[in-house]
Structure 1
Amino acid sequence: MNQLEERKYYEEDDEIDLMELIRTLMKHKIAIGVTTIAVTLVSLIGGYIYNKMSTVNSAIIGFNYPEIENGKNPDGSVFLKEYIVPLNVLNNNYSEYHDTLKAKKIADFKVGIKVEGLIPDAIQTRIEAALKRGENISYTPTQYKLSTKENKDVLESVVTDTVNEFINKYKPNYSVAKMEELGNYDYDNIYSLLNDRISLLKNNIDSEAKKNYVSNKLGYSFNELLVKVESLERVELQDYYSYFTVNGLSLNKIMREIRYDSEIRDVKLEKEKLQAKSQMIKNMLEEFKPTNRNLIIPNVGEFGIKIDTENEYYSNLINQYLTINSEIKDKEFIIKKLQEEKGIVNYPSEAQKEVIDQKLQVIREKLNNIIDELNKLNEEYVNAKYSDMITIVSPVIETHNGKPLVLFLAVGVVLGGMLGIFLAFTKEFAKNYRNKYSK
């Protein structure tokens, strides 16, 4: 056989083999198709499950209040990333969504809520540059990313509850209750109640943060309210106090006299203490010898205390002695005044009751009007300053860390086709093998 004939033989043989392959594929085309479809479906389902398992839901919350820049909460306590999502929020959401959670244990659920501080690129660059210089820069992020593999509804609930919990915990509540009817208290007790309420009002109003706040909507400021409160305290309240004390009015004469006796006894005890102290200083002054550098202290013994500035020390003792004796005189005046007031205590007449009730009504109405204005101004002030101290910067979004389903489709088709062809040829080979060796 020459070369031309040999080449022709091989080409015919190849052609026969190729046709045989095609006939084999066509013979098993249904099986190949079914295998391809089955593998493709398995690939798609597997890809979908993989993508679902790789899905992460995330949201961003931001803090906006002055103390955050120094790593503090609004109340001045230390701000910690670990406490952004409160424990009670995690517990409540675990109980609510327990049946739909991927994490079946509460510990796994808590660990699955990730909190990550977001550092701006400019700040990150500064931090890295400082580290290269061997320096440390303290920075508290103002935005935090909350993420979890749980479903979107769970994270939305956690984020919303976290924001509400922070506001409820740190947003100030400056609301002041109105002054109710004063009832049948005695006049001095009513005065004490009114005085305490006015003191609370002044403390509520008079703060550095509020001093320069003026409401354009309401048309007044905290300073103006403070002036009103001080005027009420200085005029109407003092007028009421003077009226019932000067006239010795009391709704319970016996109890009022008992209180006077108690106050007089307390002041007398204070006076006796001052007198004892005064006598001790007087003795020290009498024992003090400018030419002798030893000071004798009564009831203690003699100590060799060296005094370099006798005249200055003597002067200090004199000043103390005078001050204490002045206080003793004050106590004597108070005792005398209390005794005089006790002596004139009497029940009010109907006319006096009417006068004093009118005075109290005026005080109560003015006080409640101021409280109304203060509550409105407080509400506006708190909303203006603290309404955005924590906000949801970015709502919950889904992030898929898996692969596109079209990729799983392509892989399924290729693998399914190859498996189908392999099975077809395997089946054909087995058939030919049995036919050959079964004879």
Structure 2
Amino acid sequence: MNLEKQNYVPENYKEIYEDEIDLKELFLVLWRNKTKIIVVAIICMVFGLITGKVMSSKSKKSTVVVEYTYPGIEVGKSPNGSTLGLTYSQFKNIFMIKDIFHKMPELEKNGLTEDNVLNAIKITPVLPKGLKEGEVYYPNKFTYSLKIANSSEKDEEVLKNFIEVQKDYFKRNYALTSRLPLLNYEESLTYDYKDIISVIDTSLHSSIVAIDNLDQNIISLEDKVEMQNILKELKILKDINLVKIKNMVEDYRVTKNPNELMINYRQQLEELGRQKEKELGKISQLESMIKAYKPDSKNVVVMNNGSLEKIKTDEENYYTDFLRQLAVEKIKLSDIQVEMKYIEKKMKQEVNADTSKEKEVDEGLEYIVSSLNKKIEKINDLTVKNYNKKYSDIIKVTETVTTKSDSKVPLMTLVGLLLGGFIGVCYVLVGNFIFEEKKKKNDNK
């Protein structure tokens, strides 16, 4: 039994033995041809290195990170108050690109168009870390990227010019939008007094509105005090001085065009006549309804030129309120009649030919214009000083212009090395197999 065990040999012993010999031979073959394998691996590694550099050069792009500081960006608004879209197209437009081409004429010589550059500038918001899904966030930092020219230096230059052009555009269009014009009294001497008064009144109103429109949040305490003083002086000029001159023109009947004055009076009488007829109609209807009043009525409808006017009160005060409205309409009619008589009286009077009266009016108007112009200059100074604070530094560059790329060199070099080694091994093994086959054929012959 032991003898049988000792003499026992597996049927596939020879194959196993031969396989072991083949593995050793395989290793020896690879070792003998290691130079070939290394050469092939180096060639592929160099090819991978070149491929990585080419891919990296194609992926190169110039970038810059900017931060917007204008009021409204924190709620997703553009400088003009409109809502920023997903493309942030308000931050770039063809007018900015035209300025770039004006600064860099070589772009057009290189075959680039304004649309090419406009579309190549990409704007990507910089989102903070830890932003949760579904959380609303309005970014104020953005990455500008550009890849259009043959060299990264040219892309960087284009991007730098774009930032400067953008700053100029924003300041020009969103900072100081308008200034109040000064009045030239000498040019208005050919106008009639009422027209001059109307122009001055409009300018006074615009000045008051300009003061009110200044942003109180960015104005210093000293400027606020000056604003209040200017506002008081403007209201005095408007409500006291100008009204006084207007009354003087009416009372003195001074005019540079008597015919136009009479036409103006007739137009006023016609308008007052229409208002009088309207009031008479209301009063007539109200009086008839009072006579026909019944205590159980809930509504009284007053017809007035096709419109409906309803009086609704509780039953106790209904009749009293109804009479009160009638009294109000009669007061309006009385005021209209007084005004008509005053104008008719003015029409019968002779136009004042006293030059001293005209001189008095001229001096009063000239004083108002002179004072108003001084206030306008101060308002314009305040506007420039304070309103521009909103947009004095509307764009801040937080990361300067650089050229970045998704570097594929290390990865492609490693891939080339591994692939080259594999190809080298395969090349050696296949060559050795072909050599062995030829040798066996020769031996068999």
Does TM, normalized by the shorter one, top 0.5?
A: yes
2:289 to 278, 284, 287: 284
Q: CA deviation at 1:91?
A: 5.8
* Residue pair 1:115, 1:144 contacting (<8 A) in 2 also: yes
Q: Give, in angstroms, the shift of residue 392 of structure 1.
A: 3.2
How far did 1:250 drift? 0.7
Query: Which of 323, 329, 342 is the equivalent residue of 1:337?
Result: 342
Is 1:283–1:298's contact at 8 Å kept on the other side of the alignment?
no
Partner SS for 2:389: helix
Match for residue 245 of structure 1 among 230, 246, 250: 250
User: Partner of 2:200 in structure 1?
Assistant: 194
Q: 1:141 aligns with which of 136, 139, 142?
A: 139
Residue 321 and residue 393 in structure 1: after superposition, are their counterparts in 2 closer, same or farther (change >3 A)? farther
Aligned-residue offset at 1:211: 8.2
2:254, 2:358 within 8 Å by CA — same for their partners in 1?
Answer: no
Question: Quick check: 1:185 aligned with 2:185?
Answer: no
Q: Which amino acid aligns with 1:360?
A: L
Aligned residue identity for 1:342: M
Equivalent residues in 2 for 1:327-406, closer than 5 Å? 327-344=332-349, 346-402=351-407
Distance 1:94-1:46 versus aligned 2 partners, 3 A rule: farther
Distance 1:293 1:362 in 2: 61
> Is 1:163 aligned to 2:167, yes or no?
yes
State whether residues 60 and 143 of structure 1, in contact with CA within 8 Å, keep that contact through their aligned partners in structure 2.
yes
Distance 1:381 1:231, change over 3 A: same
Q: Does 1:113 align with 2:121?
A: yes
For residue 275 of structure 1, the aligned residue among 262, 280, 300 is 280
- What is the CA–CA distance in structure 2 between the aligned matches of 1:167 and 1:378, rounded to whole Å? 14
Secondary structure of 1:319 counterpart: helix
> In structure 2, the residue corresponding to 1:206 is in which secondary structure?
helix
Correspondences of 1:10-409 after superposition (within 5 Å): 49-82=54-87, 83-89=89-95, 92=98, 97-100=107-110, 106=115, 109-121=117-129, 124=131, 127-128=132-133, 136-150=134-148, 151-181=155-185, 182-207=188-213, 209-210=215-216, 213-214=219-220, 216=222, 221-290=226-295, 292-293=296-297, 309-344=314-349, 346-402=351-407
CA RMSD, Structure 1 to Structure 2 (Å): 4.3
Q: Quote the Cα distance in structure 1 between the aligned partners of 2:160 and 2:387.
A: 26
Cα distance in 1 for residues equivalent to 2:402 and 2:394: 23
CA distance in 2, matches of 1:333, 1:314: 29
Same amino acid, percent of matched pairs? 19
Q: Distance in 2 between matches of 1:154 and 1:298?
A: 73
Q: Secondary structure at the match of 1:159?
A: helix
Which amino acid counterpart does residue 160 of structure 1 have in structure 2? Answer: E
Q: Which runs of 5+ in 1 are unaligned?
A: 1-20, 26-31, 129-135, 427-439
Q: Do the aligned partners of residues 66 and 59 (structure 1) sit closer, same or farther apart at CA in structure 2, a change above 3 Å counting?
A: same
TM-score with structure 2 setting the length: 0.70
The CA deviation at 1:172 is 4.3
SS at match of 2:123: strand
CA distance in 1, matches of 2:324, 2:253: 38
Change over 3 Å in CA distance of 1:312–1:77 after alignment to 2:
farther
Cα distance, 1:265 vs structure 2 = 0.9
Q: Which amino acid aligns with 1:158?
A: F
| CA distance in structure 1 between the partners assigned to 2:205 and 2:144 by the alignment | 45
Q: Secondary structure at the match of 2:294?
A: coil
1:186, 1:250 within 8 Å by CA — same for their partners in 2?
Answer: yes
Query: 2:160 is matched by which residue type in structure 1?
Result: E
Q: Distance in 2 between matches of 1:295 and 1:50?
A: 86
Query: 3-state SS of the aligned residue for 2:73?
Result: helix
1:337 positional shift: 2.1
Give secondary structure in 2 for the equivalent of 1:251: coil
Q: CA deviation at 1:373?
A: 0.8
Per-residue CA distance 1:339-370 (angstroms, 9 max, x = gap): 23333351443323332222222111111111
Structure 1 residue 45, shift from structure 2 partner: 6.8
Structure 1 residue 403: deviation in Å?
A: 5.0
CA–CA separation in structure 2 for the residues paired with 1:275 and 1:385: 56
- The count of residues paired between Structure 1 and Structure 2 equals 378
Gaps in structure 2 of 5+ consecutive residues: 1-32, 149-154, 305-309, 432-445
Superposed displacement of residue 178, structure 1 = 0.4
